[in-house]
Amino acid sequence: MSESFQDVLAGLADIVGDNYVIDSAGDQEPYVVDWRGRYRGRAVAVVKPGSTAEVAAVVRYCADKRLSIVPQGGNTGMCGAATPDDGACNVVIRLDRMRRVRDVSPLANTITVEAGCILAEVQAAATAADRYFPLSLGAEGSCQIGGNISTNAGGTAVLRYGPMRDLVLGLEVVLPDGRIFNGLRALRKDNTGYALKQLFIGAEGTLGIVTAAVLKLFAPPRSSALALLKLQSVAQALEIMKRLRGAVGDRLGSLEIMSRSQIEAIAETVPHVTIPFELTTPWYLIVELTDTLAGIDLNEPLATVLSDAMDAGLAEDAVLASSLAQAKAIWAVRHSVSEGNKRSGYVVSHDSVVPLERQAAFVTNVEARIMAAVPHARVVMHGHIGDGNIHVVALIDRDRCSDPATTAALVAEINEIVDDETAAQGGAISAEHGIGITNRGRLARVTDPLDIDLMRGIKQLLDPNGLMNPDKIFANKHAGAA
Amino acid sequence: MSESFQDVLAGLADIVGDNYVIDSAGDQEPYVVDWRGRYRGRAVAVVKPGSTAEVAAVVRYCADKRLSIVPQGGNTGMCGAATPDDGACNVVIRLDRMRRVRDVSPLANTITVEAGCILAEVQAAATAADRYFPLSLGAEGSCQIGGNISTNAGGTAVLRYGPMRDLVLGLEVVLPDGRIFNGLRALRKDNTGYALKQLFIGAEGTLGIVTAAVLKLFAPPRSSALALLKLQSVAQALEIMKRLRGAVGDRLGSLEIMSRSQIEAIAETVPHVTIPFELTTPWYLIVELTDTLAGIDLNEPLATVLSDAMDAGLAEDAVLASSLAQAKAIWAVRHSVSEGNKRSGYVVSHDSVVPLERQAAFVTNVEARIMAAVPHARVVMHGHIGDGNIHVVALIDRDRCSDPATTAALVAEINEIVDDETAAQGGAISAEHGIGITNRGRLARVTDPLDIDLMRGIKQLLDPNGLMNPDKIFANKHAGAA
């Protein structure tokens, strides 16, 4: 770069204004470290453009000066995809100032939002119009819609509503060359050529910066019923799911499973959460039914299925939540999983998805193999069993993780076990978290070279200079990287 | 091509066997003309491989000999996307022999099928397992799943279940170079890099040949209620939709609208269809509610909404179907639209989609502009109003269409009116039919050049020699074409 950094800062300030170019290390701190604290990078500047035109101008400027761009949403990602590397020429772009809900249409069941909107704000705007935006996840109070789209976020409502990809109708994206892809259309159907918008959903900011979106809204759930089941196995959970599908059709809203070890990790470390049931079996299943009409009795059909399941020896016990407070207390356990694990040790977490029928074999095999290889690990599991997505987490005593090289080798060993078992069951190593930096090497190891070849081709097509979020998903900046 | 056609036929027969290489003009006839009879092409051979490996071998052979490939499903497409051009070097590939339902999983709610399966067979296989495959369209008795995927088919169940794109979990595709993209995974979530499978859905066979798919299944609808409403305007239909959404939540299954002129065209020309209601207003709306549980009374809430709507002056009349036979008679009118139009004149049909709020203005403007420009045209309309997709059809007296050049000019004039009005309302010119040959020039006219540029880049990436279904969607074979 022939310019000095001062020239660059001035050039960026010319576009977005002095107040929105952050260059001091102290002010940059929240943006150059991922929220797990695993990755720390460097940036010439963190820039906060105020409009799509400004985003485009910043991108063109960076392209011209050969500066790498790192788009960042709420910085709540699990895989380091929004953290700059330690290179000297990174510009982090944040859309915090693009936070407007542009339109809510109850008739069309759509909401048009700028990418910097917080997920919880979008949920609230939908609710205010007596509509429902279903995406729901732990970080919803701080994650941004642009990041949710760029990571194809999942969460606890996927079973009924699908992941973020299924919720996006239209997209506006600033491409790596600064051109604006104008796909911000509120159309339910569109067969005019290739599905370009799909490229950007889940691309982790490597193909452009999502600046606005039209999202689907739904009729709000107005009746619900919730139960907690105590089970001996994942196979029992699957059989109960099958019975629920038969009995309540598409009213099945959530199906979340936790291992006993997972709940124990929470019980031991998260003081503000009380476990509102006794731990007497290896597995716990939260079942939630919902209906979009008010006044529908869902407790009765739920109770019938559960009572039949117990009679058939499929569950040890079932607790039907008799109040909203009781339901909230059960959900509070599920929502404390990340916190509990973080407090319980060094977290080696996974995001495998396998065909639904394979989940029982998957969890049995993967736990046995981890325990055989790393006897001091504590294996805990939680997941979205209706989606085939079980998070296998190995908790390692922090005392054993003081040496980075030893820790890295241990993590790699556990990852390899989980990845191999995932592949053996016909699954994928990332259901909802993405690839980012964390899983880049693992993706390369388990993916058909043809797929990687196509992905590289698409990256090359849209970003020939490799400046848009480089080295995320796969290496493209440094020839030697994984 | 240095080889003789005889050498090519022998080379293809070496791969698929003598019986599956069709070279005589008589035997080729069903495959070189589109079902509307608008396009007629030529082929060296129509080839029917019996496996994915054979498809790949045929594709490699064609790539090697620089033969153009035209993948063809059931040959029921609306836009000529599966018809060869009149060049001398086309090979049509049909998957009729790849017709196996490989797996049905009621637990995972998935069905794995080969691409040559007829849509109705897939529906039946789902039903046999007490599941439901929702894609439903007029040609379901002969269209093939591979074609449904390649055209991202729509139909009458999109409102509730989405188009084909939303129903595809996994895909196997033979790429233009003969490599096999192995994405045939039954995974509900998958964030391992770019969403490659999305590229092939709706690509009209220009990026590869879909050979197998894993599709989503659902709980079957077990209760339903149906009504026919007589309306003064599309605006009334939209208001009623809004009320239905509030009253019955997500039980709204279908919302199909027809103009009086549309129903008259059917009444006059389709002898086996009786219109089971009097034509007293300009617009007719079919409302169907469904529930996945048996024994749910949907007639009562439907009657309440309709009665309130009539009291509010939103409908002239409403007929609640009191029997399955009556419901079928009403659906029979809707399903006779294509036949009635074909019998009523030369059909200039359109497939516009606009934001839901814009539909009322769209139909008013477009009809007025067509009638002003072409006073002898008869404008009829039908469509999926809950999706924003209204088919505007101009019927022209066949006597006026004897001269091809005059007819082409007339069609172009009408298309231009519809396309301009569609664009003015923020819509797209193809909601569900696709582009193919028919709409290629129109796509180029109304599409952002950036989009076309990206599409061409993707085509070039996957098919650098331009041999896979050339000149469909956009021109890539002959530099001079539209």
The mean pLDDT of B364-378, rounded to a whole number, is: 98
**Is any Cβ of chain B less than 8 angstroms from the Cβ of A471?**
no
Residue A482's pLDDT band, with cuts at 50, 70 and 90, is very low
**Sign of torsion, CA A458 A463 A467 A468?**
negative
Condensed to tens digits (0 to 9), the pLDDT of residues A250-309 reads 899 999 999 999 999 999 999 999 999 999 999 999 999 999 999 999 999 999 999 999
Residue B480 has pLDDT above 70, yes or no: no
A contacts of B292 (beta carbons < 8 Å): 248-251
Residue B431 φ/ψ region, left for φ over 0, alpha for ψ in the -120 to 50 degree band, beta for the rest: alpha
The H-or-E segment that residue A476 falls in is none
A contacts of B357 (beta carbons < 8 Å): 105, 107-108
What one-character DSSP code corresponds to residue B144? B
Angle, helices A359-373 vs A404-424, to 10°: value is 150
Residue B88's pLDDT band, with cuts at 50, 70 and 90, is confident
Q: What pLDDT score was predicted for residue B4?
A: 86
Q: Choose from B164, B173, B189, B245 for mutation: most chain A CBs within 10 A.
A: B189
Share of chain B above pLDDT 70, in %: 98
Q: What pLDDT score was predicted for residue B482?
A: 37
The domain B101-216 having CATH identifier 3.30.465.10: the answer here is yes
Q: Taking the domain A345-432, which CATH number applies? A: 3.30.70.2740
Which residue of chain A is at minimal alpha-carbon distance from B179? A450
Residue A249 has pLDDT above 60, yes or no: yes
Cα separation of A48 and A72, whole Å? Answer: 10
Whose structure tokens read 């109960």? A240
Residue A481's pLDDT band, with cuts at 50, 70 and 90, is very low
Residue A477's pLDDT band, with cuts at 50, 70 and 90, is confident
Q: Do A229 and A191 meet the contact criterion of CB atoms below 8 Å apart? A: no
**Is any Cβ of chain B less than 8 angstroms from the Cβ of A482?**
no
Q: What pLDDT score was predicted for residue A2?
A: 53
Same fold, A223-337 and A345-432: yes
Q: Per-domain residue ranges for chain B? A: 5-94, 101-216, 223-337, 345-439
Condensed to tens digits (0 to 9), the pLDDT of residues A57-93 reads 999 999 999 999 999 999 999 999 999 999 889 999 9
Write out residues 169-188 of A within 8 Å (CB-CB) of B: 175, 179-183, 185-188
Write out residues 386-405 of B within 8 Å (CB-CB) of A: 386-389
Sequence-distant (6+) residues with CB within 8 A of A160 are A134, A250, A252, A253, A254, A290
Condensed to tens digits (0 to 9), the pLDDT of residues B134-182 reads 999 889 999 999 999 999 999 889 999 999 999 999 999 999 999 999 9
Condensed to tens digits (0 to 9), the pLDDT of residues B37-75 reads 889 999 999 999 999 999 999 999 999 999 999 999 999
Cα separation of B78 and B138, whole Å? Answer: 12
Cα separation of B380 and B197, whole Å? Answer: 37
Write out residues 72-111 of A within 8 Å (CB-CB) of B: 105-110
**Is any Cβ of chain A less than 8 angstroms from the Cβ of B331?**
no
Closest CA to A256 of A426, A138, A427: A138
Q: Taking the domain B5-94, which CATH number applies? A: 3.30.43.10
B contacts of A429 (beta carbons < 8 Å): 192
Cα distances (Å, whole numbers) of residue A271 to A137, A364, B51: 22, 30, 59
Q: What pLDDT score was predicted for residue B2?
A: 53
The mean pLDDT of B430-439, rounded to a whole number, is: 94
Q: Is A19 helix (H, G, I), strand (E, B) or coil?
A: helix
What one-character DSSP code corresponds to residue A394? E
Closest CA to A188 of B228, B132, B150, B152: B152
The H-or-E segment that residue A194 falls in is none
Condensed to tens digits (0 to 9), the pLDDT of residues A22-58 reads 999 999 999 999 988 889 999 999 999 999 999 999 9
Q: What pLDDT score was predicted for residue A479?
A: 40
Sequence-distant (6+) residues with CB within 8 A of B333 are B258, B263, B266, B273, B275, B276
**Is any Cβ of chain B less than 8 angstroms from the Cβ of A196?**
yes
The CA-to-CA distance between both ends of chain A, in Å, stands at 26
The CA-to-CA distance between both ends of chain B, in Å, stands at 26
The mean pLDDT of B316-334, rounded to a whole number, is: 94
Q: What pLDDT score was predicted for residue B249?
A: 86
Residue type, A402: S
The mean pLDDT of B250-269, rounded to a whole number, is: 96
Question: In the CATH hierarchy, which top-level class contains the domain B345-439?
Answer: alpha beta
CA angle B99, B102, B103 (to 5 degrees): 140
Q: Taking the domain A223-337, which CATH number applies? A: 3.30.70.2190
Condensed to tens digits (0 to 9), the pLDDT of residues A433-468 reads 999 999 999 999 999 999 999 999 999 999 999 999
Residue B250's pLDDT band, with cuts at 50, 70 and 90, is confident
ipTM computed for the complex:
0.95
